[in-house]
Amino acid sequence: MFLPVSSPRGGALRAPQDPPGLLGQTVLRWLTHRATVVSAQSLTPSFRLVALRATAFGQADWANGDKVQVRATGMSFRTYTPFRLDGDTDVVHLLGYVHGAAPGAHWLSRVARGDTCDVMGPRRSVNLGGVPDSATFFGDETSIGLAAALGHAVHRHVFEANDPDEARNALGAVAPGAANAARFIGRTADDGHLAHAEALLDERAAASLHHVLSGKASSIQRLRRHLVARGAQPARIVSKVYWAPGKNGLD
């Protein structure tokens, strides 16, 4: 069930906030294009579904796993993996995870229909072209958009999450087929839950030679080592770090 959605009063367009200085504005003119928010919905308290329209989206050579970067404030951008492009309407659909107090979380929690924003991309980010149906997938809250971009192509999903039920509901809203077979593990402070993730990947890896690892840097590093130690070929492991404690700007 969707939560209530706020919209700008009177339907007026709201321009991006906190513009950068003159040099920054020049850079933005060269590197970004303006997108309009056509919808913004809260799927759960921590997940928001946002649709952006820009002519450049419909003209792009789009591939699953591509990224777009939205300016949150000043010259700070937040990166998203769109899970769907409607080429006929120039609209991309993003799923964002609201966490922490960074500018990106502030933008995501407040963005509303009718806002405009500065956007870079789409650009190549994760190469999913060679990922077969039998691949295993590991991720967390920040990876759900990537999982949805794969659609039904991957049937062996394992997620770590602060709130497994909330993460499952978010995945189910954008990729029901993936959610039905996915396993969600609650995080523990000492990362002890990753032993469970390793066991689940072992079960799912029996019929797979390909793996997609995404989300938290340290989790990816541990699970990659685990898979390689059990015979996985490094060239068949696709990794994408979205965040690490104390680090900004990862995408």
**pLDDT, one tens digit for every residue, the chain (251 residues):** 444 344 433 344 455 556 666 665 666 777 888 999 999 999 999 999 999 999 989 888 888 889 999 998 877 889 999 998 887 889 999 999 998 777 788 899 999 999 999 999 888 898 887 888 788 999 999 999 999 988 766 668 999 999 999 999 999 999 887 888 899 999 999 999 999 999 998 887 666 778 999 999 999 999 999 999 998 899 999 999 999 987 765 66
Respond yes or no on whether the N-terminal peptide bond of residue 234 is cis (omega within 30° of 0).
no
Environment class of residue 15 by beta-carbon count within 10 Å: exposed (0-12), middle (13-18) or buried (19+)? exposed
Query: For tokens 């020049």, what's the residue?
Result: 26
| CA–CA separation, 115 and 230 (whole Å) | 49
Assigned token pair, 116: 């405009």
| CA–CA separation, 108 and 89 (whole Å) | 22
Q: By the 8 A CB rule, do 78 and 104 touch?
A: yes
Per-residue pLDDT, 128: 81
| CA–CA separation, 247 and 162 (whole Å) | 19
Break the chain into its structural domains and give their ranges.
9-123, 136-243
Q: What 3 state SS string does the chain have?
A: CCECCCCCHHHCCECCCCCCCHHHHHHHHHHCEEEEEEEEEECCCCEEEEEEECHHHHHCCCCCCCEEEEEEECCEEEEECCCEEECCCCEEEEEEECCCCCHHHHHHHHCCCCEEEEEEEEECCCCCCCCCCCCEEEECHHHHHHHHHHHHHCCEEEEEECCHHHHHHHHHHHCHHHHHHCEEEECCCCCCHHHHHHHHHHHHHCCCCCEEEEEEHHHHHHHHHHHHHCCCCHHHEEEEEEECCCCCCCC
Architecture (CATH level 2) of domain 136-243: 3-Layer(aba) Sandwich (3.40)
Q: By the 8 A CB rule, do 198 and 227 touch?
A: no
Residue in 132, 158, 169 with CA at minimum distance from that of residue 227: 158
Residue in 105, 102, 93, 104 with CA at minimum distance from that of residue 38: 93
Per-residue pLDDT, 6: 41
- For Cα atoms 75, 81, 86, give the angle at the middle one, nearest 5 degrees: 110
Per-residue pLDDT, 177: 79
Kindly give the pairing relationship between strand 136-139 and strand 156-161.
Answer: parallel
9-123 CATH: 2.40.30.10
